[in-house]
Structure formats: C-alpha cells, structure tokens
C-alpha cells in the first residue's frame, strides 16, 4: 500500500491517470459499446388497405441481420418502407438508407456499397420488430434498388436487402 501512495503523490502519475480517465470516458461516449447488449423492440402495424410495390429479404453484413422489407402504397398514394421481423444489433447512429448500389452478400459491412446515390429515411427506431418509415412524396423508386441498415458513426452496413418490384 505504501508504494501506491508514493506513486500517487507524483504529479505526473496523477496527470497521466486523469488524462487516461478522460480518454476512456470519451471513447465510451463515442463507441457506446453498451448498445450491443441493449435491444429495442418496435411493434408498428401496417396501414390498412396498402398494396406492396416491392419486397426483399435482409442479409447480414457487419452484424447478424434478418427480416423482410416491403415498400407499401396506401390508397391515398403515400408510400412507406416497412421492416418486418427485423433482428439486428443495436448501435450508435444507426440509420435506414435507400441506395442505388447492389447488395454484396458474404462480405463484412465495410466496402459493400459504392459512393452512389442514397437517401436516409432517418434513425432506426429499434433493432427488433416491425417498423414503418415514411417515403418522401415524389420519390422515384426506380432509382433505389436496396435498403441498408447503416451505422453512420462507423460507415458500416449492419445488413441490407435487395428490393424486387412486385
């Protein structure tokens, strides 16, 4: 115990410990590792009377991901992207993207999309369950062929699905 007290009396040691604690706190804030063990389940229903315009299955990229994706159109013409039975990892700053890039199966989440066109539909509401995302009016669906669950913080795809027109 005497050695520890002797070391802690040195200003350089106290400074290094203080800086180390600050860096550890900043890293924890940035990476948010606890989110990998926190699940958020969303249970939204599809609007009544919708018709399916496109559908696809999600595959895994950087994190194990599964579920179905559908593009729905309501009788009033509004369109929605719907994720069904979604199961993926939670993470910091995870978004839903429409992309013009093809899905590359069997690859880790980095380098699976090129720098083509993409459109963010907002933050992922939860990493489990069924959820709906409004599509902008006038969106040309022919431009976008895939959906990606994308982590903006680390520029990595958790999973993606190719959309097939119905």
Mean pLDDT, residues 160-164 taken together: 96
pLDDT for 11 beyond 80 = no
- What torsion, rounded to 10 degrees, do the Cα atoms 114, 108, 133, 41 define? -170
Let me know how long the chain is: 166
pLDDT for 138 beyond 70 = yes
pLDDT digits (tens, 9 = 90+) for 63-120: 899 999 999 999 999 999 999 999 999 988 999 999 999 988 876 656 776 667 999 9
Contacts of 158 (CB under 8 A, 6+ apart): 60, 61, 62, 63, 65, 88, 89, 91, 94, 109, 149, 150, 151
Residue 165 class from Cβ within 10 Å (0-12 exposed, 13-18 middle, 19+ buried)?
Answer: exposed
Tokens of 128: 């489990």
């Amino acid at each position: 115990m005497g050695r520890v007290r002797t070391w802690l009396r040195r200003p350089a040691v106290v400074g290094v410990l203080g800086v180390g604690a600050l860096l550890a706190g900043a890293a924890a804030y940035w990476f948010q590792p606890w989110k990998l063990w926190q699940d958020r389940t969303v249970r939204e229903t599809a609007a009544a009377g919708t018709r399916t315009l496109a559908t696809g299955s999600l595959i895994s990229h950087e994190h194990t991901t599964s579920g179905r994706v559908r593009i729905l159109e309501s009788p009033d013409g509004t369109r929605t992207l719907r994720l069904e039975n979604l199961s993926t990892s939670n993470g910091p700053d995870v978004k839903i993207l429409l992309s013009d890039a093809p899905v590359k199966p069997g690859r880790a989440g980095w380098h699976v999309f090129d720098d083509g066109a993409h459109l963010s539909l907002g933050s992922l509401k939860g990493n489990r369950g069924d959820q709906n995302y409004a599509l902008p009016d006038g969106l040309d669906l022919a431009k976008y062929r895939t959906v990606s669950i994308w982590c903006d913080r680390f520029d990595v795809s958790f999973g993606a699905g190719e959309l097939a027109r119905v």
